[in-house]
Structure 1
Amino acid sequence: MTELFIVGQIDALEFESKFWSEFHGLRDISDKDFAVLNELFYVVEDFVVDVTARDPGDVTEVELLAGAQAFLNACRRL
């Protein structure tokens, strides 16, 4: 899902939706894997798709994309 978002095959809203769906279904994840996933969790949690509803500090689509890329890079190093 992260790779699909990074290459533009799904948009930010679909990525957010899929992230929450998969996150809530996680079981038996190692502490090391959770630490990497947790970084992305905070980015997705602060993402606000509606520009008019965004407050200072809310994550934009560009920042969400950067967070997804950082997550993918971290996963590749595991």
Structure 2
Amino acid sequence: MAEKIRLINAFATGEFEGPEFARRWLVARRAWLGQEGLLDAVFSRALREVFALVEDYPIDPALREPGDVTDEDLRKGVQAVAYWLACLDDSADSAS
């Protein structure tokens, strides 16, 4: 789980480009398959959102077609998830 959150934040802040993020995300996801039932429903939803973006993102630019998720779409979507997770983290900190 920590690796996925790190990947989300790193990509959202521009640490690496879309193809590298997508590859790393898929590796991290395979490592967690079957274990997502252990996650809080909120985090599980966030991870599913990122997976849906990556699933619709052609890693090889030569294979892109109209309507596919672009590099910009991928980054904006992941940034939205990172922001949402940060807000949840902030609200959890305020509640304690």
Q: CA RMSD in A?
A: 1.6
* Bigger helix fraction: 2
- Partners of 2:49 and 2:72 in 1: CA distance: 16
String of CA shifts for 1:13-66, please: whole Å, max 9, x gaps.
111111111112222222221112111111111011333321232100000000
Identity of aligned residues (%): 28
TM-score scaled to structure 2, two decimals?
Answer: 0.70
Aligned equivalents of 1:11 and 1:51: distance in 2?
A: 12
Provide the residue aligned with 2:47 in structure 1: 37
Give the paired residue count.
78
One-letter amino acid of the counterpart of residue 8, structure 2: T
TM-score (norm 1): 0.83
User: What are structure 1's unaligned runs of at least 5 residues?
Assistant: none
Residues 49 and 61 of structure 1 are in contact (CA less than 8 Å); yes or no, is this contact kept in structure 2?
no
Contact 2:22 2:59 in 1 (8 A): no
Q: Which runs of 5+ in 2 are unaligned?
A: 1-6, 89-96
Q: Which residue of 2 aligns with 1:77?
A: 87
- Contact 1:4–1:10 under 8 Å retained in 2: yes
- Larger Rg: 1 or 2? 2
**How far, CA to CA, are the matches of 1:18 and 1:50 in structure 2?**
14
Do the aligned partners of 2:50 and 2:81 also contact (CA within 8 Å) in 1? Answer: yes
Is 1:4 aligned with 2:14?
A: no
Contact 2:19 2:60 in 1 (8 A): no
